[in-house]
Amino acid sequence: MKICVTGGGGFLGRYIVEQLLAKGHSLRAFCRGEYPELDALGVEVFRGDLRDASAVRQACQGVDAVFHVAAVPGIWGKWETYHSINSVGTENVIEACRASGVPKLIYTSSPSVVYDGQPHLNGDESLSYPESYLCHYPHSKALGEKAVLAANSETFSTVALRPHLIWGPRDNHLIPRLIDRAMAGRLVRVGDGTNVVSMAYVENAAAAHVQAFESLSPASSCAGKAYFINEPEPILLWKWVDDLLALGGLPPVQRNISPGFARTVGRALEGVYTLFRINSEPPMTRFLASQLSQSHSYSIDNAKNDFGYNPAISYDEGMERLRPEVEAYVASKKSS
């Protein structure tokens, strides 16, 4: 098939592209930047912005399926940015698919779309959308997810996947930031370190997207539904952080602060950054304080039952695959 992946040059998107290529499909990527690695793979690259409806329509013409992975992430920024890209941009993808007669749309969502400020333990898809959000990213992604699921029809099959805390090789966001903070002495544990989280190793998350695509049809169980995607068993969040640091020969996190203090600091910083219109991300926010101190784990039973999701790469194997990259990154920081 001919398949378009928005954000095909990104962390998760590139793994999806590679797995689809391995299955013999022809790939097109819709990206804002240049990605020589995609050119080397023989991927047709369309450059454009999700906010440009005409560019999105052009990218979706003549394809058999669209994986909508592109989004602006983060916990700080202007609502207009998040809404125009993650919400309106998703609506542009939906309309482009309809206009071009694309029969399948697989949307990368986030568990944060149902985050209500409370811990989640083995949560499932019955969790409802909250009335309000602590930051713009989950709100904008929730609007996108709602639009994708509402678009499902007899001629246009849609599904939304919610991978939680994607990690693994080639991550240029979460893992480098953790290591940078640790090496600068600014990484502080929030809470007592007993909170558990579900995590999604990146190749497993990509495989879930491919499996959902292969099962998706108007008559399939997954059409018009959202699914949590992660490893079967949750892990201690701060154990994972310490294990990650150990890959690079760095010591575990030594200092900690209480969740209440972190939220108070986060609220104050949000006020200061808003008042003085500071665009950079605050070192702490209420959302971040909650995410770092609370448990967030999710059941993948529905994904297993409806499209056969079965994570193939274990936590230990994933860490070993990540080790060379962490070692190299730490060495480069020490030598600079």
* Mean pLDDT value across residues 236-263: 97
* Mean pLDDT value across residues 65-71: 98
- Secondary structure string (H, E, C) spanning 82-138: HHHHHHHHHHHHHHHHHHHCCCEEEEECCHHHHCCCCCEEEECCCCCCCCCCCCHHH
* Mean pLDDT value across residues 252-274: 97
| Cα angle value 127/130/131 (rounded, 5°) | 150
Q: How far apart are CA 91 and CA 93, in angstroms?
A: 5
Whether 129 sits among the annotated catalytic residues: the reply is: no
Predicted confidence at residue 173, as pLDDT, reads 92
- The active-site residue out of 137, 201, 227, 298 is 137
* Mean pLDDT value across residues 317-336: 97
* Mean pLDDT value across residues 259-277: 97
- Beta-strand pair 44-47/65-68: unpaired
Judge whether 247 and 228 are in contact, CB under 8 Å. no
Q: Is 336 a residue whose pLDDT tops 90?
A: no
Structure confidence at residue 191 as a pLDDT band (50, 70, 90): very high
- Report the chain's mean pLDDT, rounded to a whole number: 97
Going along the chain from its start, the domains and CATH numbers come out as 2-164+200-230+298-312 (3.40.50.720)
Predicted confidence at residue 101, as pLDDT, reads 98
CA–CA distances in Å: residue 36 to residues 6, 12, 67, 224, 268: 16, 17, 20, 35, 43
Q: Is 163 a residue whose pLDDT tops 90?
A: yes
pLDDT digits (tens, 9 = 90+) for 47-57: 999 999 999 99
* Mean pLDDT value across residues 52-81: 97
C-alpha closest to that of 140 among 218, 90, 87: 87
Structure confidence at residue 193 as a pLDDT band (50, 70, 90): very high
pLDDT digits (tens, 9 = 90+) for 197-207: 999 999 999 99
Place of tokens 């779309």: 113
DSSP 272-290: HHHHTT--SPPS--HHHHH
Q: What percent of the chain has pLDDT over 90?
A: 99
Q: How far apart are CA 240 and CA 163, in angstroms?
A: 17
Q: Is 118 a residue whose pLDDT tops 90?
A: yes
Q: Is the dihedral of CA 76, 79, 80, 84 positive or negative?
A: positive
